[in-house]
């Protein structure tokens, strides 16, 4: 079986033989499948007796898998680690009881900061290089189960104010 073509023809034959043995098909002298291999045999199993309501039924209907719901929210804390390839960040949340969170990033993740514009704060885009380990950040995320994906990362200066990190609404132009 040194040649490549012999190996190509050998593998399908082995797979076919294994499948036939597994499913119980029989071959005739010519190598063709016999028609009785496809005939369904009558099973002589006794009819199942109806189970009482008090007894356990091993053939109970399986419970469907629960799908995890999507959620969204904000995480406030300090950056513990920023991946050099910008795939994820580790965040230490402000709450003392909570542990380190891993937040995944993608190309659409926006980094923002706030600048003082008179009395108001104006949101401006920041560069990835502005993120530094140990820095206070607020992360708006979308989650499914325990997986958090960052939608936007805000660089925080001063106190955390959740109202500053809400998604911006586009102003509609009136005609």
**pLDDT at residue 107 in the model:** 85
Q: Is 6 helix (H, G, I), strand (E, B) or coil?
A: helix
The CATH number given to 70-160 is: 2.40.50.320
Instruction: Break the chain into its structural domains and give their ranges.
Output: 4-33, 70-160
pLDDT of amino acid 25: 47
Q: What is the pLDDT of residues 138-168, one digit of tens each?
A: 999 999 888 889 999 999 888 888 778 777 7
Contacts of residue 136, defined as CB under 8 A and 6 or more positions apart, other chains included, come to 76, 77, 78, 155, 156, 157, 160
Predicted confidence (pLDDT) per residue in 17-26, tens digit? 544 444 454 4
Percent of the chain clearing pLDDT 70 (strictly above): 61
Instruction: Give the tokens for residue 116.
Output: 């003082």
Residue range 123-133: average pLDDT? 88
Contact 90, 80 (CB under 8 A): yes
pTM summary value? 0.55
């Amino acid at each position: 079986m040194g040649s490549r073509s012999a190996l190509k023809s050998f593998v399908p034959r082995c797979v076919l033989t294994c499948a036939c043995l597994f499913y119980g098909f029989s071959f005739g002298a010519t190598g063709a499948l016999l028609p009785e291999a496809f005939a369904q045999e009558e099973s002589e199993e006794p009819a199942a007796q109806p189970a009482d309501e008090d007894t356990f039924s091993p053939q109970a209907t399986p419970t469907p898998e629960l799908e995890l719901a999507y959620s969204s929210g904000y995480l406030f804390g300090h950056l513990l680690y920023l991946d050099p390839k910008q795939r994820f960040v580790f965040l230490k949340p402000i709450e003392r009881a909570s542990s380190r969170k891993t937040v995944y990033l993608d190309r659409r993740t926006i980094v923002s900061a706030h600048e003082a514009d008179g009395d108001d704060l104006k949101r401006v885009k920041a560069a990835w290089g502005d993120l530094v380990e140990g820095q206070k950040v607020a992360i708006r995320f979308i989650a499914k189960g325990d997986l958090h994906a960052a939608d936007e990362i805000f660089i925080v200066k001063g106190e955390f104010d959740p109202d500053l990190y809400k998604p911006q609404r586009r102003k509609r132009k009136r005609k």
